[in-house]
C-alpha cells in the first residue's frame, strides 16, 4: 500500500517535520493556506475518520494535544487557530491517511468553503 503520509512519516519522502513522538508526526503543509499550516498525523495508518475504531480514541485525543502544543509554540494559541479533518472527497480529502490541519496566523473566516 503506497501512502504519501506514511512515506513522509517513515522518512521515505521529504517533509518539513515540526513534531514527532511515539504516536504522532507533524509536518508543514506543502501548499500552506495560512501562515501556520501544519498537518498532524497518527503514525498508524488510518484512512479517514470513517475508519477509526474504539481503540483509537486515546490516539485521536493525543493528536489534539499535539495541536495545542504546536499552537502554543507558534504563538497562535492566544489569537486563535483552527483544527480540521476533511473526510472523504466531498469534504476535500485528498490524502487517505488521517490528518488534522492546524491553521492559524491570519483571521479565519467561517463557514469554510
Ligand atoms: P486533505 O485535502 O485534507 O486530504 O489535505 C491534504 C493536504 O496535504 C493538502 O493540504 C496538501 O497541500 C498537503 N500535501 C500534499 N502533498 C504533500 C506533501 N508532499 N507534503 C506536505 N503536504 C502535502
Ligand atoms: Zn498512511
The predicted-structure confidence for 63-97, as pLDDT tens digits, reads as follows 999 999 999 999 999 999 999 999 999 999 999 99
**Domain boundaries, position 95:** 4-104
Closest ligand relative to 47 C-alpha: 2
Residues 31 and 83 sit within 8 Å (Cβ to Cβ)? no
Q: What is the pLDDT of residue 9?
A: 98
pLDDT over 90 (residue 1): no
Task: Identify whether 39 is part of a domain.
Answer: yes
What CATH code is carried by the domain that includes residue 80? 3.30.428.10
Confidence of residue 113 (pLDDT cuts 50, 70, 90): confident
Q: 5 CA distance to ligand 2 centroid (A)? A: 5
Quote the ligand 1 centre to 41 CA distance (angstroms): 11
The protein residue whose alpha carbon is closest to atom 19 in ligand 1 is 30
Q: Grid coordinates representing 38?
A: 501544519
Mean pLDDT over residues 24-51, rounded? 98
Task: Express as a percent the part of the chain with pLDDT over 90.
Answer: 98
Instruction: Say whether pTM exceeds 0.95.
Output: yes
- Residue 38, in any domain of the structure: yes
Residues with Cβ within 6 A of ligand 1? 4, 15, 29-31, 39, 86, 92-95
Q: Give the integer Cα–Cα distance in Å for 98 and 44.
A: 9
Task: Judge whether 110 lies within some domain.
Answer: no
In a domain, 13, yes or no: yes
Residue 36 predicted with pLDDT over 90? yes
Grid coordinates representing 20 are 514527532
49 in a domain, yes or no? Answer: yes
Give me the chain's average pLDDT, please: 97
Q: What are the start-end ranges of the E strands in 1-113?
A: 17-20, 24-28, 36-42, 81-84, 100-104
Q: Is 99 annotated in the active site?
A: yes
Total of domains in the chain: 1
Residue 37 located in a structural domain: yes
Q: Which-ligand-closest: CA of 93?
A: 1
Answer yes or no: is 109 within a domain.
no
Amino acid at each position: 500500500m503506497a501512502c504519501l503520509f506514511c512515506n513522509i512519516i517513515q522518512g521515505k519522502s521529504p517533509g518539513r517535520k515540526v513534531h514527532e513522538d511515539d504516536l504522532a508526526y507533524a509536518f508543514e503543509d506543502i501548499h500552506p493556506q495560512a501562515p501556520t499550516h501544519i498537518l498532524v498525523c497518527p503514525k498508524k495508518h488510518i484512512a479517514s475518520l470513517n475508519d477509526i475504531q474504539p481503540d483509537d480514541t486515546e490516539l485521536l485525543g493525543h493528536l489534539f494535544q499535539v495541536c495545542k502544543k504546536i499552537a502554543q509554540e507558534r504563538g497562535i494559541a492566544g489569537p486563535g487557530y483552527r483544527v480540521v479533518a476533511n473526510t472523504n472527497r466531498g469534504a476535500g480529502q485528498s490524502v487517505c491517511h488521517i490528518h488534522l490541519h492546524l491553521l492559524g496566523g491570519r483571521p479565519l473566516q467561517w463557514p469554510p468553503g
